[in-house]
Structure 1
Amino acid sequence: MRPLAIFGGTFDPVHIGHLTVAWEASELLDAEVRLMPSRTPPHRAEPCATAEQRLAGLRAALAGQDRLQLDAREMEREGPSYTVDTLRELRAEQGQRPLVLLLGEDAFAGLPAWHQWRELFELAHIGVLSRPGLSVVRSEVLWREITERRIAHSRGLDGRPAGAIIELQVTALEISATRIRELLASGRNPRYLLPAGLFADPALLQPYRR
């Protein structure tokens, strides 16, 4: 049974860096990968674009390929988009299928601040998207939780629905949604930082222009 991997975020807007790491994680894990936009992120400011606008951007970005999929369940749920709630839903749907929560190094380092964070290990594996040359300090409480869970190869996920930590070396693309919003707001065109599908409809980038 192929793993199901979840890659969340605000995608405000979705950019090439998001798609690159999600695609590489799919290859490294031999997994189905779903991009899951957050409606109301609990740990950051409200997105600039509405839920509907961000969903439209993701649909345009993912058109023409079948490796990466869109899962809009958090957009349909009221209140803060807590990852633990989403994983509970997926676990109920998927049975014993391996689930993998994909997190960047910085997000993973901040895991102890997440809502009911220890329960995440009971619901899914965690794939840490590591970039060469990036060094992030992990707290002692996080190290205590993950030391015995670390595995070196995706084969270690076989037959295990949850509980492991695997580091995935992905291509480092220093692309920032914040920087893209700044470029768009100043009237510039971030042509090669965004998926081509976002330029097909001017309305998809209108929320970021002034």
Structure 2
Amino acid sequence: MKKIGILGGTFDPPHLGHLLIAEEVREKLDLEEVWFIPSFTPPHKEDLGTTPNDRMNMVKYAISNNPFFKLNTIEIERSGKSYTIDTIKRLKELHPDHDFYFIIGADMVEFLPNWFKIEELVNLVQFVGVKRAGSSLVTDWNVRSIKIPGIDISSTELRKRVKEKQQITYLTTDSVQAYIKENHLYEN
């Protein structure tokens, strides 16, 4: 069985925290690849302000220097609201010889009881919670805990900085910064 990590999200925009999480989990669980899966429309967010194509392109640029990172567009192609259960079921149909590890932050672990069809989902995929200093991964669900170095970066903060014409250097990759600038993202 091929061991594949999955990092899903809006990636609006992708930042170094996403890359660090993916690499730390890949190394610690000896994963063969980590697939970045940008959502078309996440169920918990409304207006993103960027297109799915913009977010897909930014992920492509962000991960381009790591041969273990792959872009998977399954949710972009499906369009509509993206529920993890639908994505995992489809991935398992397409790749029956893969074991999937769904990577989530400690903040998302506490929200697992609210996930759509969580009782079924936990039987289909191994959740991996990334633990940072000061966070806890206390849950009744089967979540494998991985400790990572602390890095406090959020997409929300990056969007705010761009809007306020502040630098985002060292918070995301140079190629993502260039894409944001060339396409005038987050300026309004």
TM-score range, shorter chain: over 0.9
Superposed displacement of residue 199, structure 1: 3.1
Answering whether residue 18 of structure 2 is matched by residue 13 of structure 1, we say no
Q: Does 1:197 align with 2:175?
A: yes
Where 1:103 maps in the other structure, the secondary structure is: strand
Deviations 1:72-92 (A, max 9, x none): 110111321000000001111
Distance in 1 (alpha carbons) for counterparts of 2:72 and 2:104: 17
Q: TM-score, normalised by structure 1?
A: 0.83
Moved over 2 A (4+): 199-204
Q: Is the 8 A contact 2:168 2:177 kept in 1?
A: no
Structure 2 distance, partners of 1:63, 1:135, is 32
In 2, Cα distance between equivalents of 1:199 and 1:7: 21
Counterpart Cα distance in 1 of 2:80 and 2:157: 28
Corresponding position: 1:169 with 2:147: yes
Distance 1:131 1:199 in 2: 26
| Structure 1 residues 35-74: aligned runs within 5 Å | 35-74=36-75
Alignment of 1:1-210 (within 5 A): 1-31=1-31, 32-135=33-136, 138=138, 142-143=139-140, 146=141, 149=142, 165-201=143-179, 202-204=181-183, 206-210=184-188
- What's the Cα RMSD here? 1.6
| Structure 1 residues not aligned, in runs of 5+ | 150-164
Partner of 2:61: helix, strand, or coil?
helix
Q: Is the 8 A contact 1:2 1:30 kept in 2?
A: no
Aligned-pair identity (%):
31
Deviations 1:122-177 (A, max 9, x none): 211111111122136x5xxx52xx3xx4xxxxxxxxxxxxxxx3111111100011
Deviation larger for 6-15 or 117-126: 117-126
Q: TM-score, normalised by structure 2?
A: 0.92
Aligned residues: 186
Decide which moves more: 1-10 or 34-43: 1-10
Structure 1 range deviating more: 95-104 or 33-42: 95-104
The separation in 1 between residues aligned to 2:168 and 2:178, in whole angstroms, is 14
- For 1:76 and 1:203, locate their aligned partners in 2 and report how far apart those are by CA, in whole Å: 25
Structure 2 letter corresponding to 1:106: D
Q: Which amino acid aligns with 1:179?
A: E
- In structure 2, the gaps of 5 or more residues are none
Write the distance in 2 (CA, Å) between the matches of 1:99 and 1:92. Answer: 12
Q: How far apart, CA to CA, are the structure 2 residues paired with 1:97 and 1:57?
A: 26
Asked if the contact 1:63–1:197 (Cα under 8 Å) also holds between the matched residues in 2, the reply is no
Would you say the 8 A contact 1:5–1:33 is kept in 2? yes
Q: What secondary structure, in the 3-state scheme, does the structure 2 residue paired with 1:56 have?
A: helix
Q: Which amino acid aligns with 2:5?
A: A
Cα drift, residue 96 of structure 1: 4.5
